[in-house]
Amino acid sequence: MKKRILDRITVALLPRLARWMIRFLALSMRFTYVNFDSYRKRLDKGGQIILAFWHGRLLMMPYSYPGRGITVLVSQHRDGELIARTVKGFGIESVRGSSTRGWFGGIKGLLKSVRSGRDIAITPDGPQGPRYKAQMGTIQLAATTGLPIYPMAFGASKKKPLRAGMPSSYRIPFQGGFSYAANP
């Protein structure tokens, strides 16, 4: 009984706290997009994409997507519920499913989003891993929808006290997609 009440409180409060924290962090950063031109051209032409980013790099993704609307695939696990509620506050839709549970419903939801004109996002390594190793689901989704995959990453570095701006050595080279880096 106590555990259930605590779970409900956690699911109600933690996403709000996470949104506040993410917004606070974003206010303390300067954003620089790297290798963004091809994506911007596609956006300007009204094209859709599959956005792919590593599972371990979720935190600032709500601020890294400059498009017009996106739906993200989130696991059916309890952690997935926290993520879905957190990103909802940023205007990001989510569908639930993963490679181990509810995959059909998740894919069905992503395809429905594509038909409605939204971009979709997926973590190709997923929560189960192996970490930073893309699985075939993203490729199969691209083959089914005909949409290009744009890999994306987020990186941050501390500003050096004697030098303003972000040194080029901290920029993330990323061919075929784009990334952005923040300099607090």
pLDDT at 160: 58
Most confident of 45-54, 60-69, 108-117, 119-128: 108-117
* Buried b / exposed e along 44-55 (16+ C-beta atoms within 10 A): eeeebbbbbbbb
CA–CA separation, 73 and 149 (whole Å): 15
Q: What is the pLDDT of residues 46-69, one digit of tens each?
A: 889 999 998 888 888 888 777 778
Most confident of 53-67, 75-89, 94-108: 75-89
Residue 91 reports pLDDT greater than 80: yes
CA–CA separation, 35 and 29 (whole Å): 19
Residue 112 reports pLDDT greater than 60: yes
pLDDT at 142: 93
| pTM for this predicted structure | 0.77
Helix (H) or strand (E) holding 93: strand 93-96
Residue 139 reports pLDDT greater than 50: yes
Average pLDDT over residues 145-156: 88
Tokens of 118: 């939204």
Residue 132 reports pLDDT greater than 80: yes
Residue 26 reports pLDDT greater than 50: yes
Q: Tokens 């973590």 appear where?
A: 123
Can you give the three-state secondary structure of 106-163, one letter per residue? HHHHHHHHHHCCCEEEECCCCCCCCCCCCCCHHHHHHHHHCCCEEEEEEEECCCCCCC
Mean pLDDT of the chain: 80
When divided into structural domains, the chain yields a total of 1
DSSP code for 102: S
Domain span at residue 147?
A: 2-183
Q: Are 125 and 133 in contact (CB under 8 A)?
A: yes
